[in-house]
Chains A and B, each alone.
Chain A
Amino acid sequence: MKSSLAYRIFIHVAALFVAVVFLAPFAWLLISSVSTPADLLARPLHWWPEDPSVERYARFFTASGDDVSAVYRQSLVNSTVVALSTVALSMFVGVLGAYAMARLRFRYKRIVLVLFLIAYMLPPIALLIPLYLVLAQLQLLDSIVGLVLVYSSFTTPFVLWIMTNQFLALPAELEDAARVDGCSRLGALVRIVLPVSRPGLFATMMFAFLLAWDEFLYALIFTSTADAKTLPVAIAEFTGRYSVDFGLVAAGGVLATVPPLLLALAFQRYIVSGLAASAVKG
């Protein structure tokens, strides 16, 4: 049965409206990043710069020393290293744990799962002060390793949770067949279960990356120099200090958005199934 013309017009108009509301602020961020400071301070505002320039992006590749663009470049590198290492570590340990949760029988399983969930949901503010002191003692303040360890403590329960649900959704017969053929449990996990759960793995990696990339409070307190400062911290600093040239903040913002956006677009068909797995059962 065909839906009515009025309905079809209505959904397209509504979708167009939503698209404008979602795109306009980001479009303004993009325009600001190629506008001169004079354009941005003009009244009435210039919606399109008189002389658009990509200079702020060019400086990103060439700047050195204390220049804002050089700080952005270094913190983009830091953010990338921190997020990728966090994903690698938490995926490795989380997938092993999730397999145990989904496939093996043992006592206190439910309590273990609840404890992991609570660890994931704990507000960072409750851990901040002692964690700062511990990291200081271990000389892990202002270090990428320190951030990766802290971030993995909340991405791992998330990975464990989603992957447990992904594994539970697979038929157990799949492994049974492999095990009859002489595969060990671990062999079945690596050779049979993981290849089949590829969509779930991709979705989980993407979510974990976004969690680590977006984190702010820990990074704000635990990092201070170019050694480990992440992009959100650098942007927050310049938002306060260089409030006059918003173009520079805008360029940093665009740069900080590119990696997660590309990742989310590349894996977009896994988003819904991944979210469905994060919100079922337990």
Chain B
Amino acid sequence: MLRRAPSHRRAAAGQRRRGEGWFAVALLVPSVLVVFGVVVYPVLRTLMISFFDVDSPVATETPFVGLGNYTEALGEPAFWRAARQTAYFAVTSIALELLFGTGIALLLNAPLRARWLFRAVVILPWALPTIVNGAMWRQILNSQYGAFNALLTQLGVLDEYRSWLGEPFLALNMVMLADVWKNTSLVAFLLLAGLQAIDVNLYEAARVDGAGPIRSFFSITLPLLLPSIAIVLVLRTIETFKVFDIIYIMTRGGPASGTQTLTFYTYLQAFSDQRLGYGSALAYLIVSAVVALAVLYLRLLHGQEGRA
């Protein structure tokens, strides 16, 4: 008698847990359908196409080439060029976004007059659609009648108008500039969330110990902000692997392929040249990079949880 009571209770708890499990499944089914109903087939299909030589949407002969498309990509100078440009784009733009973003986050957190107004201004580039941002900068940087040329010549910095989007490396930097202008806002808000989680008493203690604002930035703010910075780093890197729209609208990958990033190169191969098999292999190279970064992102979040 005495022994049965606990086991009975355990059985009831087990049943409740099983019931909970079914209830969880019921609540999750709609999301699973909406997400994986759309995503799973294309993901597998692209993987399959990447093993075949498909050179037209209506091709009748599509020989199996195994990893042929992948080895072709890895031996293709244009692929490596796009990869180098993506890496340059990622490293430089994210470094600038973190630098400016940290500064702006500190300002957003500082005792400014009309703080709400400053916050509203910082929101603007974030809310501006990417395509609008690209169209705007494309015009500002126009070689014939752009505002950037007009400003610099009227200030006496430039003697004559320059073609900002006309030379490959310069154009890449200009596209990056437009991208940094827009995304610094988001980075600033993400870092502000991290800043606001820092205990104010730490600053008070530092001040009592005689540390100035610069000293307390480097010994309190920056170390405690590092987890947020790491998260921004990974999230933004994933975004640069996917960057497409701003390049499409500003340069279409030109001049001389100078602004082609991996996604844009893949788009051109798959859609302009209709090399569907090769394009699918390229897409999968991007997928593997993104998944690796996503796993790193989860590790970082997990580490943060452990510290908290």
Asked if A123 meets B263 with Cβ closer than 8 Å, knowing A97-B28, A100-B27, A261-B123, the reply is yes
Which of these, B126, B140, B145, B286, contacts A123 with CB under 8 Å? Answer: B286
Taken together as a complex, chains A and B put the C-alpha atoms of A233 and B297 apart, in Å, by 32
Asked if A97 meets B31 with Cβ closer than 8 Å, knowing A23-B121, A134-B42, the reply is yes
Which of these, A32, A252, A265, A275, contacts B123 with CB under 8 Å? Answer: A265
Cβ proximity bits B64-78 to A, threshold 8 Å, 1 near / 0 not: 000000000000000
Q: Is B192 a contact of A156 with CB atoms below 8 Å? A: no
B91 at the interface (CB under 8 A from A): no
Question: Whole-angstrom distance from the CB of B146 to the nearest CB of chain A?
Answer: 8
Which of these, A100, A256, A275, contacts B193 with CB under 8 Å? Answer: A275
Which of these, B123, B244, B283, contacts A216 with CB under 8 Å? Answer: B244
Residues of A within 8 A of B107 (CB): 11, 14-15, 18
Cβ proximity bits B21-65 to A, threshold 8 Å, 1 near / 0 not: 101110110111111111101110110010000000100000000
Residues of A within 8 A of B34 (CB): 89-90, 93, 149, 152-153, 156
Q: Is B291 a contact of A118 with CB atoms below 8 Å? A: yes
Q: Is A279 a contact of B228 with CB atoms below 8 Å? A: yes
Residues of A within 8 A of B121 (CB): 18-19, 22-23
Residues of B within 8 A of A241 (CB): none
Q: Is B286 a contact of A280 with CB atoms below 8 Å? A: no
B120 at the interface (CB under 8 A from A): yes
Cβ proximity bits A259-282 to B, threshold 8 Å, 1 near / 0 not: 011011100100111011001111
Question: Whole-angstrom distance from the CB of B65 to the nearest CB of chain A?
Answer: 17
Which of these, B116, B120, B128, B276, contacts A129 with CB under 8 Å? Answer: B276
Q: Is B27 a contact of A119 with CB atoms below 8 Å? A: no
Show the binding face of A for B, using Cβ within 8 Å.
1, 3, 7-8, 11-12, 14-15, 18-19, 21-23, 25-26, 28-29, 32, 40-45, 47, 89-90, 92-94, 96-97, 99-101, 104-107, 112, 114-119, 121-131, 133-134, 149-150, 152-154, 156-157, 160, 185, 210, 213-214, 216-217, 220-221, 231-232, 235-236, 239, 246, 249-250, 252-253, 256-257, 260-261, 263-265, 268, 271-273, 275-276, 279-282
Stretch at the interface among B131-139, B167-175, B218-226: B131-139
Q: Is A93 a contact of B123 with CB atoms below 8 Å? A: no
Q: Is A104 a contact of B24 with CB atoms below 8 Å? A: yes
Residues of A within 8 A of B291 (CB): 118, 121
Q: Is B181 a contact of A125 with CB atoms below 8 Å? A: no
B207 at the interface (CB under 8 A from A): yes
Q: Is A104 a contact of B290 with CB atoms below 8 Å? A: no
Asked if A156 meets B130 with Cβ closer than 8 Å, knowing A23-B124, A239-B138, the reply is no
Q: Which residue of B lies closest to A40 (CB)?
A: B145
Taken together as a complex, chains A and B put the C-alpha atoms of A250 and B131 apart, in Å, by 11
Which of these, A153, A239, A275, contacts B135 with CB under 8 Å? Answer: A239
Which of these, B35, B46, B130, B238, contacts A214 with CB under 8 Å? Answer: B130
B104 at the interface (CB under 8 A from A): yes
Residues of B within 8 A of A126 (CB): 42-43, 46, 280, 283-284, 286-287
What 4 A-B pairs come out closest when comparing CB atoms? A45-B150, A97-B31, A130-B45, A153-B38
Residues of B within 8 A of A15 (CB): 107, 110, 112, 118
Q: Can you report 25 A-B residue pairs in the complex whose CB atoms are below 8 A from each other? A: A11-B107, A28-B147, A41-B144, A42-B145, A45-B147, A47-B150, A97-B30, A114-B298, A121-B293, A123-B287, A127-B39, A129-B49, A129-B280, A153-B35, A156-B34, A213-B129, A217-B267, A232-B130, A232-B132, A236-B131, A263-B127, A272-B189, A272-B196, A280-B304, A282-B301
Q: Is B283 a contact of A96 with CB atoms below 8 Å? A: no
Residues of B within 8 A of A282 (CB): 298, 301-302, 305
Residues of A within 8 A of B123 (CB): 261, 264-265, 268, 271
Q: Is B28 a contact of A112 with CB atoms below 8 Å? A: yes
Which of these, A28, A94, A125, A264, contacts B140 with CB under 8 Å? Answer: A28
Taken together as a complex, chains A and B put the C-alpha atoms of A100 and B25 apart, in Å, by 8
Taken together as a complex, chains A and B put the C-alpha atoms of A213 and B131 apart, in Å, by 11
Taken together as a complex, chains A and B put the C-alpha atoms of A257 and B133 apart, in Å, by 10
Q: Is B137 a contact of A25 with CB atoms below 8 Å? A: yes
B166 at the interface (CB under 8 A from A): no
Taken together as a complex, chains A and B put the C-alpha atoms of A221 and B249 apart, in Å, by 15
Given contacts A235-B135, A239-B138, 15 further A-B contacts (CB under 8 A): A12-B112, A18-B103, A18-B122, A22-B181, A43-B145, A116-B31, A126-B284, A126-B287, A127-B39, A129-B45, A129-B46, A129-B270, A129-B276, A250-B139, A261-B127
B125 at the interface (CB under 8 A from A): yes
Residues of A within 8 A of B297 (CB): 117
Residues of B within 8 A of A96 (CB): 27-28, 30-31
